[in-house]
């Protein structure tokens, strides 16, 4: 499947961000955790703790010039589930680093709705970006990898994962996943390496959600 066919099948992408973060995203772009740690000059043991270990809670960062930012929690995932599901010689620390180096988008609104309604997030305000798939691929396809699973979750059952979980568009086995899943979508996540610096030019909508429903435009 090429970029045009992918965008026709999945015309919109969805990203759930920390409430109140849109102004910072407009200034700096949509950043992966690793890119955010670079921007906020987080180094040493604190960086290792945020980048290579499980984050049970969100962590606020402070910077004298950039202000405040939040590194989101990883509640749906844990080390035990990763040990059970990881292959290819990867350790939990490897997987955390891999995830933290990428920006994540759902390819379906259903997945977004499920996340917004999850126990850990349903009572908190969230900012949701709806992104034009064709425009994002036109600019960033070379840094895009696709995943057939929710790569940031190991609960309730950890899906197998490893070095080949994330694949570029040209190598992604759409036909195999279509046949295996029948009516379910063959792709769960679209990811972009490091950051999407021009995200403000790619968004279709920016909305704040509460209790799973849109309540305002930031």
**Domains contained in the chain, number:** 1
Instruction: State the pTM of this model.
Output: 0.94
For 147-174, how does the pLDDT look when each residue is reduced to its tens digit (9 = 90+)? 999 999 999 899 999 999 999 999 999 8
Cα 19 to Cα 34: distance, rounded to the nearest angstrom: 20
pLDDT digits (tens, 9 = 90+) for 34-87: 999 999 999 999 999 999 999 999 999 999 999 999 999 999 999 999 999 999
> Do the bridges between strand 144-147 and strand 67-71 make them parallel or antiparallel, or are there none, so unpaired?
unpaired
> According to the model, what pLDDT value does residue 183 have?
54
Percent of the chain with pLDDT over 70: 98
Helix (H) or strand (E) holding 144: strand 144-147
Find all residues with CB under 8 Å of 119, minimum gap 6, and list them.
none
Q: What is the CATH number of the domain that holds 207?
A: 3.90.210
pLDDT of residue 39: 98
- pLDDT digits 0-9 by tens, 95-138: 999 999 999 999 999 999 888 888 778 788 999 999 999 999 99
Q: By residue range, what is the domain housing residue 166?
A: 3-216
């Amino acid at each position: 499947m090429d970029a045009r066919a992918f965008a026709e099948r999945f015309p919109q992408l969805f990203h759930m961000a920390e409430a109140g973060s849109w102004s910072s995203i407009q200034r700096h772009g949509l950043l992966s955790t690793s890119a955010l740690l670079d921007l906020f000059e987080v180094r040493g043991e604190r960086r290792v703790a945020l980048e290579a270990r499980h984050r049970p809670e969100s962590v606020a960062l402070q910077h004298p010039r950039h202000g405040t930012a939040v590194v989101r929690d990883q509640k749906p995932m844990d080390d035990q589930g990763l040990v059970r599901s990881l292959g290819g010689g990867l350790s939990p620390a490897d997987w955390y680093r891999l995830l933290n180096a990428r920006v994540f988008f759902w390819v379906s609104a259903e997945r977004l709705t499920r996340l917004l309604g999850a126990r850990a997030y349903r009572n908190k305000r969230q900012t949701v970006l709806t992104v034009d798939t064709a425009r994002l691929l036109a600019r960033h396809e070379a840094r895009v990898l696709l995943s057939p699973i929710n790569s940031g979750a190991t609960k309730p059952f950890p899906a197998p994962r490893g070095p080949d979980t994330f694949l570029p568009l040209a190598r992604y086995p759409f036909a195999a996943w279509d046949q295996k899943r029948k009516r379910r979508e063959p792709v769960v996540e679209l990811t972009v390496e490091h950051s999407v610096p021009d995200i403000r030019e790619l968004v279709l909508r920016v909305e704040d959600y509460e209790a799973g429903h849109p309540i305002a435009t930031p």
